[in-house]
Structure 1
């Protein structure tokens, strides 16, 4: 049986998630009753510095990013576009692969925890976010510490 198409909502018992991740950096993930422009704007403006270039897929929720003070580039995965080289340097800089990899890891991590209630799911998401971010910070701190010690 195939799942119904469309975006999830808490009312459908298919929670909506919103995630922001820096390339090679930190992540923020939240569960919302629904994912709409008025629900994501506060978390984005609180988390992402103005004038930051934001890469997304083609989902229409991101249409106001420029109005909110961000640069915006997107790939249209519906048209099988997954990465784009805009400056012809051989590096496909416009993509959402970092996000896709994060979600793949999250799904793998959640898989053994089948049957998580909607009320407890935000705690699991926060814990995963913390693990991801601590790992990034420790890695950065360790290289700095090694530079100081053996520099």
Structure 2
């Protein structure tokens, strides 16, 4: 077995200026979009059912989020979000869904009715994000065109404890 020594070479400039070293990550500031190679993933989870739903989106604009949330949630649902402006449409009078938002600058959760229980939080989905991130980390980067497939497989594994013949039949369209 041969050992390659790299000691003392990390601060030296790259030999060929026409072939710079690859970038380690997309460190662009701001929210991710499909165009800047950081497609956002919108996640929803039912507090009572525990059923999770994830969608890879093109951007985080209000129209995109409205279409996705309206398609995946019940009409009378109470949506718990962070303070992102993209969810302001939930507070309009013509919207049947209601919104409770936690302001993370004031803490991780809020107790608005002062009964000692912090009922307004997004910890459920935050914990699931950790699982999704750890699952994707194994692949050391996923191409944005294939991200939805990886997210769909995570959703399937998260929502089903075991693979049954009935689940396989549904997946095959039978």
Fold in common (TM above 0.5): yes
Deviation at 1:66, TM superposition (A): 2.8
1:50 corresponds, among 75, 83, 88, to: 75
Give the Cα separation in 1 of the matches to 2:108 and 2:122: 7
Normalised to the residue count of structure 1, the TM-score between the two structures is 0.82
1:73 corresponds, among 74, 93, 100, to: 100
1:114 corresponds, among 140, 145, 150, to: 140
Kindly name which structure, 1 or 2, has the bigger radius of gyration based on alpha carbons.
2
Q: Whose strand proportion is higher, 1 or 2?
A: 1
Structure 1 residue 84 and structure 2 residue 128: aligned? no
**Is the deviation greater in 80-89 or in 103-112?**
80-89
- Once the two structures are superposed, residues 106-149 of structure 1 have per-residue CA deviations (whole angstroms, 9 ceiling, x without a partner) of 1111111113111111100000011111139x9xxxxxxxxxxx
Question: Could you tell me whether the CA contact under 8 Å between 2:76 and 2:97 is conserved in 1?
Answer: yes
Deviation at 1:21, TM superposition (A): 1.0
State the structure with bigger RCO (CA 8 A, min sep 6), 1 or 2.
Answer: 1
2:43 corresponds, among 2, 19, 26, to: 19
Q: Whose helix proportion is higher, 1 or 2?
A: 1
Partner of 1:141: none
Deviation at 1:2, TM superposition (A): 9.4
1:103 corresponds, among 107, 110, 129, to: 129
Question: Could you tell me whether the CA contact under 8 Å between 2:40 and 2:56 is conserved in 1?
Answer: yes
Give the Cα separation in 1 of the matches to 2:36 and 2:45: 26
Question: Could you tell me whether the CA contact under 8 Å between 1:55 and 1:74 is conserved in 2?
Answer: yes
**Is the deviation greater in 79-88 or in 10-19?**
79-88
After superposition, the CA RMSD in angstroms is: 2.1
Question: Could you tell me whether the CA contact under 8 Å between 1:74 and 1:94 is conserved in 2?
Answer: yes
Unmatched runs of 5 consecutive residues or more in structure 2:
1-24, 165-174
